[in-house]
Structure 1
Amino acid sequence: MRDPVGSRTGAVVEAIRRRLAVPGLAAGERLPSIRGLAASLGVSPSTVVEAYDRLVAEGAIRARPGAGFYASRPAAALALADAATPADRAIDPLWVSRQSLDAAPGMLKPGCGWLPAGWMPQAALRRALRDLARAEDPLLADYGEARGSPALRRLLSRRAADDGIDAGPDHVLLTASGTQALDLVCRALLRPGDTVLLDDPGYFNFQALMRAHRVTVVGVPHTPAGPDPARFAEILAAHQPRLYVANAAIHNPTGATLSPQVAHRVLTAAAAHDLTVVEDDIFADLEPEPSPRLAALDGLERVIRIGSFSKTLSASVRCGYVVARPDRIAALTDLQVATGFGGPSPVAAQLVHGILGDGSYRRHIDALRRRLSRARREVASRLADLGIVPWLVPRGGFSLWCRLPEGRDAAEVARAALAEGVVLAPGAVFSPSRSSTDFMRFNVAQMGEPRIYDVLGRALRH
């Protein structure tokens, strides 16, 4: 990390860097003493000490106690081509994630699953960070409680009550992320060879995580009202899955909303076959009006709710949660301590609690829903000019699940777009059956750059 322009210590650091860059300076060569360099540069010895310490920390020089400071062997340069995900990587459930996460600067990412940084509540985040800087020492240095911040768990239990879920703080466990919440549930309930039911299409990282747990995945067709209830019951009878993992509220990738009738049929079938349901509620705050919640209808008897704030607050501040029966929370807490020695950073939990509790998050969400509503209309209109049609018009969220013009393969379109610096999300990665090959998910919040439509048009003609 470079020092601020004009910083005295920063100027000394740059002077030493220039000295290290002199041709012929060998690794292991001794650098000037602290007092000698201070005198030659006209600064205090403490400034040189700080400069040397920073260069030691970044590995540019080495300190030998009692003997001074010495030049290090230059580190090999990191080539962007080495750091990036290969463009020819197989298009599988991890393809979109890896291409989006490892995208080079300047690449456009309408296929990614998060909002642009400028859409997040930056002012509230900075204010919360300033408050954290004044926090007491234990918050900044100690481990947190095994179940996570009591204050945030109380707040999350009140939010659950607003959704009709009777859950006290003892029903809530904080985790390092929403993905880790699901991973803990899988560790607790699944064994290699078990069968898990996923929506088809459904969130691709559910498939990737199930692959890591070495379980068999069976897809259930997803409709505008939720999973096809007849096929759901047939699959339960034929395969006896241990777990069903689904999105609540706004389905990823389709944008569909669960209907009350389908919700009741799903829970009736789950009870008949002793099936545990994991309801991922990560998009709940993006709904204009609440839709049915399996966790509320079931009373947390066989439904486990998970979520996080990475889609609406910050993907950098990782903090997830589980809402479940107290006996399940106790078992998951032990498992989390055994595998990670606790949940989210207490600093992250405090930051999330501060923003959720001061009213700024509610205002941010209200504005975000309006902005996304406009973006969905605008993007749908632009895509229609290319012959790309949404499967349905979502009630909320930032995804449009669209069918490409007849005969176009989404994987081929995605590869052609990637060659021009645009990351897309082809439909097959969302499908356990590898169908949906003519569909694509578009993130409307990431579609503001006009070049995306030019690249997409060329890719469709490719």
Structure 2
Amino acid sequence: MPRITLAQQVADSVERQIHEGVLKVGDRLPSLREYMRLHGHSKNTVITAYELLASKGLVEARHGQGFFVRAAPVNTAEPDEALPYARAMDTIWMMRQQFVREPGQAPLGEGFPPVSWLQDMRLDRFTKQVMRSGAGSLFRYGNRLGNPALRQSLVRKLASYAISTTPRQIVTTHGANHALDLIIRRFVAPGDSVLVENPGYYPLFGKLQLQGARMLSVPRLPDGPDMVALEALLRTERPRLFFIQSIGHNPTGSDISPAKAHQLLQLAERHDLILVEDDALADFKPSSSLKVSALDQLRRSLYIGSFSKSVSAALRVGYIAGSKEMIDELADLKMLLHTSSSELCERTVDVILSEGHFLRHLTRLQDRVREATLHGLNVLDELGVEVFCRPEQSLYLWARFPGVWDSSLFTQEVQAQGLTLAPGAIFKTDQKAPTPWTRLNVAYVGEPLFAQCIRSYGALAGSTVSQLSGAI
């Protein structure tokens, strides 16, 4: 079970007292000094607990007086354990926040590159080219494996990654998320243990919760997964799948080291483990970047690719590569659930891949990412921000701001100033536990508002501490 922090335990205890009527509207909470003396907790623990309660609207701080109960919201929680759909709703809510940009907000938490980085693709030109050639087939369902010409183009693309495959070893999907859905539906039954990286790709966590899977958390380090923790889980839990992002890891931006990649394959062989390599950000890295599936040659790995972030999310084209046996099963499942994928979108992507313009586009895209990463690291260094690792080029950086111990609370404070962040709790398997880390999109780290908020947070934090000190 995920570990609940001491501050969260304190906040939960006070919240229960409010719900049960022990603490009523207008009641003053014990001062920091009183609570520390009664329960033996540190000052930071009590501060964090009271701020968690304030962030939920349960209490309010009154300068020089302390914290007071505001109102007890109606408790609509079911007494029994929440259903998988209910547990997944937290992730669905967070996805809504990530995908919808508010006007005037500086989107440092956005998961996509700027539209200006992709506009040179001129999708209208490619779509017209598809309509001029063989438009009659666009009125029928496509092949269950996907458009044959596109799968042949994907064979060549994978070869540039040193992954040898055939068209029969590839099934197309409606993007990388659809690929994850198919794999989970095929290989994960309710109650099954599944390995995930922590922090990791939070929509994956929601999908696994929806399926009723039991997530086993493997800490992500700057050079890849924590191999000691992984091996211990493999020995005791015997999971069948491990979902991993080898390079350009979301959210940390880290890459797996060659030594760990080889060690991972040895463990997978020894414990009969299927490795699901989600490489949706491959186009932001050099084709020579290390991939576990290239070392494994798809023997016990499934490789997921996508064009959503490097071409257009509106096209919804992705793919899975693996052994012929596994791909046949996934293609049958795809046909049962969705009949086929989009022939129009897949033919458009095939035309894009077949033209030299796409390679020029990738060169420009990677140059932009490299420049933005270097600039972003320099900006963070100047602001005294700690970074998890220092990649040469990555769409994301994992950062820890000075004076911030709960990035969710910090996100709420700066959002009112027009700055949108992606707090680290989103990417944790235990999304309720406070964490100081935040994911930043390198394209926007240079926003003046970001530097202004980081520099002024000392004053904001000082104001909060002043309120809390008045409660002592």
Deviation at 1:236, TM superposition (A): 0.8
CA distance in 2, matches of 1:199, 1:131: 42
Where 2:362 maps in the other structure, the secondary structure is helix
Q: Which residue of structure 2 aligns with residue 317 of structure 1?
A: 315
Q: Does 1:389 align with 2:382?
A: no
The one-letter amino acid paired with 2:348 is L
Query: Which residue in the other structure is 2:352 paired with?
Result: 355
d(CA) in 2 for partners of 1:337, 1:400:
38
Structure 2's unaligned 5+ residue stretches are 1-87, 462-472
How many residues in Structure 1 have an aligned counterpart in Structure 2?
A: 372
Question: Measured at CA, do residues 459 and 339 of structure 1 come closer, stay the same or move farther in structure 2, by a change above 3 Å?
Answer: farther
Offset of residue 385 of structure 1:
3.5
TM-score, normalisation: structure 2: 0.75
1:13-32 alignment, distance < 5 Å: none
Tell me, what secondary structure is at the counterpart of 2:391?
Answer: coil
Which sits farther off after the overlay, 439-448 or 134-143? Answer: 134-143
In the other structure, the counterpart of 2:161 is 163
Shift of 1:452: 3.3
Q: Are the aligned partners of 2:160 and 2:287 in contact in 1 as well (CA < 8 Å)?
A: no
* Unpaired stretches in structure 1, ≥5 consecutive residues: 1-89
Alpha-carbon deviation of 1:216? 0.8
Given that 1:197 and 1:220 are in contact with CA atoms closer than 8 Å, whether structure 2 keeps it comes out as: yes
Aligned to 1:186: 184
- SS of the residue 2:107 aligns to: coil
Task: Summarize deviations over 1:327-386 as a string: whole Å, max 9, x none.
Answer: 11111111011111112x111111111111101111111111111222122222223333
Task: Report the Cα distance in structure 1 between the residues aligned to 2:434 and 2:140, rounded to whole angstroms.
Answer: 48
Counterparts in 2 of 1:436 and 1:392: CA distance versus 1, 3 Å: farther
Amino acid at match of 1:284: A
Change (3 A) 1:176 1:421: same
Q: Percent identity?
A: 34
Pairing of 1:104-143 with structure 2 (within 5 A): 104-143=102-141
Question: How far apart, in 1, do the equivalents of 2:198 and 2:239 lie?
Answer: 15
Q: Which residue of 2 aligns with 1:327?
A: 325
Moved more, 118-127 or 240-249: 118-127
Is this contact kept in 2: 1:124–1:360, CA < 8 A? no
2:426 aligned with 1:429: yes
Q: Is the 8 A contact 1:145 1:342 kept in 2?
A: yes
Of 326-335 and 158-167, more deviation after overlay is shown by: 158-167
Aligned position for 2:233: 235
How far apart are the structure 2 equivalents of 1:194 and 1:252? 24
- In the alignment, is residue 339 of structure 1 matched against residue 337 of structure 2? yes
- The 3 A distance-change label for structure 1 pair 396 and 331 is same
Point out the more displaced range, 427-436 or 148-157: 427-436
Partner Cα distance (1:91, 1:451) in 2? 31
1:244 partner SS: strand
Q: Distance in 1 between matches of 2:385 and 2:97?
A: 23
- 1:197 and 2:185 matched: no
Give 1:249 deviation, angstroms: 2.2
Provide the residue aligned with 2:57 in structure 1: none
1:396 and 1:386 mapped to 2: Cα distance? 20
Aligned to 1:298: 296
- Give the drift of 1:436: 7.3
- Post-superposition offset of 1:416: 1.5
Match of 1:218 in 2: 216
Residue matched to 1:68 = none
Separation in structure 1 between the aligned mates of residue 365 and residue 208 of structure 2, nearest angstrom: 32
1:383-462 map, 5 Å:
383-434=380-431, 437-458=435-456, 461-462=460-461
1 CA distance for matches of 2:181 and 2:158? 21
Distance 1:449 1:151, change over 3 A: same
Shift of 1:175: 0.7
Q: CA deviation at 1:448?
A: 4.7
Given that 2:373 and 2:392 are in contact with CA atoms closer than 8 Å, whether structure 1 keeps it comes out as: no
C-alpha displacement at 1:120, in angstroms? 0.3
Partner Cα distance (1:96, 1:116) in 2: 20
Q: State the alpha-carbon separation in 2 of the partners of residues 325 and 418 from structure 1.
A: 46
Give the letter aligned to residue 240 of structure 1.
R
For the residues of structure 2 that align with 1:91 and 1:443, how far apart are their CA atoms?
25
Partners of 1:247 and 1:217 in 2: CA distance: 16
Query: Contact 2:247/2:279 (CA < 8 Å) preserved in 1?
Result: yes
Partner of 1:72: none
1:440 aligned counterpart, secondary structure = strand
- Which fold has the larger relative contact order, with Cα–Cα distance below 8 Å and residues 6 or more apart in sequence? 2
Distance (Å, rounded) in 1 between the aligned partners of 2:453 and 2:137: 48
Alpha-carbon distance change, 262 to 157 in structure 1, aligned in 2, over 3 angstroms: same
Pairing 1:280-299 to 2, within 5 Å after superposition? 280-288=278-286, 290-299=288-297
Secondary structure of the residue aligned to 1:160 is helix
Let me know the Cα RMSD of the aligned residues.
2.1
The change in CA–CA distance for 1:122 and 1:150 in structure 2 (over 3 A counts) is: same
Query: Structure 1 stretch 224-233 or stretch 280-289: which is displaced more?
Result: 280-289
TM-score scaled by length of structure 1: 0.76
In structure 2, distance between residues paired with 1:217 and 1:333: 26
